[in-house]
Amino acid sequence: MFFQKEAKSFDIDMGNIPSHIAIIMDGNGRWAKKRALPRKAGHKAGAEALEKIISDCRELGVKHLTVYAFSTENWKRSKEEVDAIMDLLRQYLKNYFKRFLQDDVRMKVIGDIRRLDKDIQESILEIEELSKEKNGLCVHIALNYGGRDELRRAICKLAEQAAQGTLRASDITEEVISAHLDTAGVPDPELVIRTSGEERISNFLLWQIAYAEFFFTDTLWPDFDRTSLEEAIYYYQNRERRFGGR
Ligand code: FPP
């Protein structure tokens, strides 16, 4: 049967868990199509998979998890599909994500949230505020996010400071650029995962992934589970990371 997965286990080193994992959660539509379900059922299953992966990352000791939930390009999808994703997001922000507060999980959003409905913006600010003292896993949800748009917004902030005379061109170091991105203060991801067999970055964290390892898997996002996560971490642990040196 196509949804029967081979049970495998991966001998991961708990002393070498990546501190920041970023995930492009792809394949919800194909997962639904295989089951003759509407695309929104795929997104619902995708949100459930995300809930489990958040718990798994927390248990494994990952410090930051960044997930690509809605890109600046995703507005081009049908209104019906965009509305379905936004409704899911509403539900998760207002209810399901709050369950993680008892597990010391912090929630943050990256991306330009000004284009989202007002009530969603309010729920984002609420959950960010409620979870701001949490010290376990920090989940960064990318919403109306695009790597180029994030860089454009950072450059605008720097240009404004230059125009006011508070910043010189020579002050613009890599650290200054990083500090003006949505991910300011967050270490760069060491591991990027993309599901569903696609091997593209699709405008995700363009600046931050300079030295990341990439794990691509054919597994569709709703089927991505603890074993899949451990497989990705095992792959990462067996890569030799040289950062351009020897
Ligand atoms: C990609 O699959 C997935 C998305 C564009 C949306 C991701 C959203 C979720 C996982 C749900 C998020 C929910 C919350 C609560 C944050 P696709 O539709 O591109 O799949 P396809 O390539 O098979 O068509």
pLDDT tens digits along 19-42: 999 999 999 999 999 999 999 999
Could you give the angle at the alpha carbon of 185 between the alpha carbons of 183 and 191, nearest 5°?
Answer: 60
Tens digit of pLDDT for each residue in 99-151?
999 999 999 999 999 999 999 999 999 999 999 999 999 999 999 999 999 99
CA–CA gap between residue 223 and residue 220 (Å, rounded): 6
- The pLDDT of 201-214, averaged and rounded, is 98
According to DSSP, the residues that pair with 142 across neighbouring strands are: 68, 110
What is the reported pLDDT for 187? 98
User: Closest residue (by CA) to atom 1 of ligand 1?
Assistant: 26
Tell me if 94 CB under 6 Å of ligand 1.
no
According to DSSP, the residues that pair with 70 across neighbouring strands are: 143
Sequence-distant (6+) residues with CB within 8 A of 157 are 180
Tens digit of pLDDT for each residue in 60-82?
999 999 999 999 999 999 999 99
Among 28, 124, 202, residue to substitute to test ligand 1 (most atoms within 8 Å of Cβ):
28
For CA atoms 95, 96, 102, 104, give the dihedral sign: negative
CB 46 within 8 A of CB 65: no
What is the reported pLDDT for 3? 53
CA–CA gap between residue 126 and residue 18 (Å, rounded): 29
Q: Quick one: what percent of the chain has pLDDT higher than 90? A: 91
Q: Is the pLDDT of residue 49 over 80?
A: yes
Tell me if 33 CB under 6 Å of ligand 1.
no
Tell me if 205 CB under 6 Å of ligand 1.
no
Distance 173 CA to ligand 1 centre (A): 35
What is the reported pLDDT for 1? 46
* C-alpha distance from residue 47 to each of 40, 41, 85, 176, 211 (Å): 11, 10, 9, 34, 28
Question: 63: closest CA among 14, 102, 105, 99?
Answer: 105
Tens digit of pLDDT for each residue in 3-22?
555 567 899 999 999 999 99
Tell me if 89 CB under 6 Å of ligand 1.
yes
Q: Is the pLDDT of residue 176 over 50?
A: yes
* C-alpha distance from residue 48 to each of 86, 132, 161, 167 (Å): 15, 24, 43, 45
What is the reported pLDDT for 244? 74
Sequence-distant (6+) residues with CB within 8 A of 235 are 213, 215
Q: Annotated catalytic sites, by residue?
A: 26, 74
- For 183-240, strand residue ranges (E) read 191-194, 213-216
According to DSSP, the residues that pair with 24 across neighbouring strands are: 68, 194
What is the reported pLDDT for 238? 94
Please name the residue ranges forming H helices in the chain. Answer: 28-34, 39-60, 79-94, 118-130, 147-163, 174-179, 226-237
| Phi, psi angles (nearest 5°) of residue 232 | -65, -40
